[in-house]
Amino acid sequence: MDSLRSPLTPDVRQVPLRVMRILAALVALLIATACRPGTERPLSAQSREAPTASPEPSVPHPRLDLFADLINATSFEIYSLDPWPSLENDRLRFRGVRVIASSCVPPALALPIVSGLWQAHESNDGLEAACFYPRYGLHADTPSGPVDLLIATDCLQVRVFEPHTRPDTFLITADPEGALHALLGVLALPTPPPLAPPA
């Protein structure tokens, strides 16, 4: 039967492996382009600030101009965060939360996260958890300036930090958790600890 197959016909058994190799090469190329030497963004003093003790209440709709800015951002950085309080002072912090790992992200990989956050907000019917334990962070350099997001999928909230404004909070569903977790995997970053108190 194999003798009847044209030499130009790909072996069906090899297609998934070839596709995976091509996808892996494309992801590596995108990351290399976004993370050229010298483009890594050190944490600014503003990003090291602790979260505001009394955040603004959740707003019914996040500003459309915020998402328009995020869609047009020129660079992104994602953070894997450990939300549990600690006395360790030698760890990097993003908006007051301990950083486990971070990486710059090409817009092609970050924009689905932004879109997912908007869809998760639209799907939330007002359910809000009485907690805020952010396990993911996202920094974006937008046309209007830097934007930092603390994302607490377990607590169904996102806190937004922008220059010269008070932090805003908007509600989401837990749906973005899977995409955020997968993105950390693609970038070979450790994932945040589960939302359970340390032993």
Q: Enumerate domains of the chain plus CATH numbers.
A: 30-186 (3.30.1490.410)
For residue 6, is pLDDT > 80? no
For residue 123, is pLDDT > 70? yes
Q: Which long-range contacts (CB under 8 A, 24 or more apart) does 183-191 make?
A: 183/78, 183/105, 183/109, 183/110, 183/113, 184/78, 184/80, 184/101, 186/27, 186/109, 187/31, 187/78, 187/103, 187/105, 189/78, 189/80, 189/100, 189/101, 189/102, 189/103, 190/80, 190/100, 190/101, 191/80
What pLDDT, on the 0 to 100 scale, is given for residue 61? 54
Looking at per-residue confidence, does 72 or 58 come out higher?
72
Predicted TM-score (pTM) of the model is 0.70
For residue 104, is pLDDT > 60? yes
The pLDDT > 70 percentage for the chain reads 64
52-56, 91-95, 113-117, 176-180: least confident range: 52-56
Sequence letter at residue 35: C
For residue 79, is pLDDT > 80? yes
Mean pLDDT of 134-153: 96
Mutual angle of helices 107-123 and 15-34, in 10-degree steps? 100
Q: In 23-156, where do the E strands start and end?
A: 58-59, 75-82, 93-94, 97-105, 136-142, 145-152
Mean pLDDT of 2-15: 45
For residue 2, is pLDDT > 90? no
- Residue 46 phi/psi, 5° resolution? -65, -40
What pLDDT, on the 0 to 100 scale, is given for residue 64? 81
Per-residue pLDDT band at 65 (split at 50, 70, 90) = confident
What pLDDT, on the 0 to 100 scale, is given for residue 15? 47
Alpha-carbon gap, residue 133 to 21, rounded angstroms: 37
The pLDDT > 90 percentage for the chain reads 47
Which tens digits make up the pLDDT trace of 10-55?
444 444 555 455 555 555 555 544 554 333 344 554 454 444 433 4
